[in-house]
Amino acid sequence: MDTASTDVAMLLRRTGFAPTAAERAVASSAGFIPTARARVAQARTTIDAADSLAPPTFAPFTPLDRSADEASRRQALAKRLATDRRENIALAHWWCNRMAQSTNSLREKATFIAHDHFATSVETVKSAKLMYDQNQLLRTYALGDFAELMRRLVSDAAMLVWLDGDSNVAQRPNENFAREFFELFTLGIGHYTETDVKEAARAFTGWSYTLRTQHVAFVARRHDNKTKTVLGKSGNFGSDDIVRIAMTDATARNVAAHWWSRLAYPVTIDDSVVNDVAARFAQRLDIGDLVEAILLHDAFRSDAARTGLLKTPLEYVIGTMRLFNLTAEKADALRTLESLGQLPFRPPSVGGWPGNEGWCSAAAALTRAQFAARVVRSADLRSLSGRSTNERVDALAELLGVVWSEGTAATLHAHAGDVSTLAALALVAPEYQVN
């Protein structure tokens, strides 16, 4: 593969999940820049064939009957826990299948990058329905107005439960959300003080989530209606005001670094590329602008980028599902993702998921190997078995979108006789672990 084709392939991988050979060919003809622009433009639209995948249904909340006897209460609760568990599994399957089958995969990738940024876990939220609603919110603004997304996240039910927003009241402010808002979601460490956190917490008061009705409301008497001073500005601020005040250059850089690190290669906020793309992003705080700036930056087509990212567990599993036409259920995707530490809707903390070295333990390599063995047992490998042994190694390279090193090619050729073994080896080969 020449550099231009390699870069186009990388572009498709980074802005989606495992492009097919056909998709790579089309994009190569169109060229890198037109393809980059087209993908961003498409991700701004809402059309996706994966919409045909029905989302899970969620049982309405039914309060437990407190007057019932102990045994009945216990039974009712066990039933609810079982329902919750089913819904969580169904939700995770739904999103995994959506990502694998999406015809608008940059939008799905962006939704996941946002999920990683505003990392919220069902483990605390305890409601698949709320996680689904948040997911749709993230999808709506995937390549859209960052400030508007931030405004809506403040009163998102899942977020309120996750970071105690619903118990943040004027009489007793809870700083959990305000802290993560400044530290992780917007400015980043070093650009605000503890006092800013306290004051912002006061401004964020008033949002209330009611479990029984599953509704969010702003309750005036819970809101602190006095003057606050945040980031040097004073006023009787509410949530929207804090979001507005927080949209500074520091926020632009922090967000830009988050997206650059996931699309190109890991960087800190001080990196010069961050300044470049942050400046573009800051113009109208539009994520689509940011993504396009990243893709079109010279440093995106560099060796640093080409070798800078390993496939995250999600990219590895979803990409493989896509290439072998497997559903999440068939591929036993959730078990693998859980074992590798990247189950959607269940980030390890509000800090989101780790980067490259979080995926490099020997144990993680083992889990990928076990997944590979399962995939080749479930997948249709006839397109391979129909070929001669000599052709199979190249056919796999073409399918997976990789170029084998000499060493790998030699190992694969030695095992090309058995199609399952060959495919499994290809899936665990180091070249395929690179994004």
Partner 1 sequence: MEQLNLTRRQVVLGLLGVGALGAVGGALRWHPWDTLLDAAAQAGASSAGGNALVVITLAGGNDGLNTVVPYTDSAYLAVRQDMHFGPNEVLPLTDGLGLHPELTGLKALWDAGSLAIINGVGYPQPNRSHFRSMDIWQSGVPDRQEATGWLGRWLDAQSPSPMHAVSIGTQIPLLLTGSKRRPAAIPATGVAIPTMINEAYGELGAPDTTRGAWENVYRTAMRDLAAIQRDVHNVLPANVSKGGPGTTTTTTNTGVAAGRRAGNLRGQLDAVRAMLAAKIPTSVFHVMLGGFDTHATEKDTHANLMREFGDAVQTFLDQTYALGQPVTVVAYSEFGRRLALNASNGTDHGTAAPMFVAGNGVRSGLYGEYPSLTSLDDGDLKYTTDFRAVFGTLAARVLHVDPAQVLTGPQRDLGFLQ
Element spanning 235, H or E: strand 233-235
381 binds partner 1 (CB under 8 A): no
The tokens 């070798």 sit on which residue? Answer: 307
Task: State which of residues 176, 208, 251, 312 lies at the interface with partner 1 (CB under 8 A).
Answer: 176
**Helix (H, G, I), strand (E, B), or coil: what is residue 66?**
coil
CA–CA distance from 169 to each of 164, 205, 212, 213, 281 (Å)?
Answer: 10, 5, 20, 20, 34
List the structure tokens of 360.
Answer: 């490099």
Question: Least distance to partner 1 from the beta carbon of 269, Å?
Answer: 9
409 binds partner 1 (CB under 8 A): no
Task: State which of residues 55, 56, 144, 355 lies at the interface with partner 1 (CB under 8 A).
Answer: 355
- Residues 244, 249, 252, 255: is their CA dihedral positive or negative? negative
335 binds partner 1 (CB under 8 A): yes
59 binds partner 1 (CB under 8 A): no
Q: Which is nearer to partner 1, 35 or 127 (CB)?
A: 127
Task: State which of residues 247, 279, 365, 399 lies at the interface with partner 1 (CB under 8 A).
Answer: 365
CB-count exposure of residue 8 (10 Å: 0-12, 13-18, 19+): buried
List binders of partner 1 among 270-309 (CB under 8 A): 271, 303-304, 306-309
Q: Which residues, including other chains, have CB under 8 Å from residue 157's CB and lie 6 or more apart?
A: 127, 130, 133, 134, 209, 214, 216
Amino acid at 398: E
Question: Least distance to partner 1 from the beta carbon of 116, Å?
Answer: 10
Nearest to 424 by CA among 371, 385, 384, 383: 371
Span near partner 1 by CB under 8 A; candidates 203-211, 235-243, 331-339, 387-395: 331-339
Q: How far apart are CA 212 and CA 203, in angstroms?
A: 26
Task: State which of residues 126, 152, 330, 387 lies at the interface with partner 1 (CB under 8 A).
Answer: 126
State the binding string over 206-245 for partner 1 (x if CB under 8 A, else -).
Answer: ----------------------------------------
354 binds partner 1 (CB under 8 A): yes
Task: State which of residues 4, 38, 189, 217 lies at the interface with partner 1 (CB under 8 A).
Answer: 189
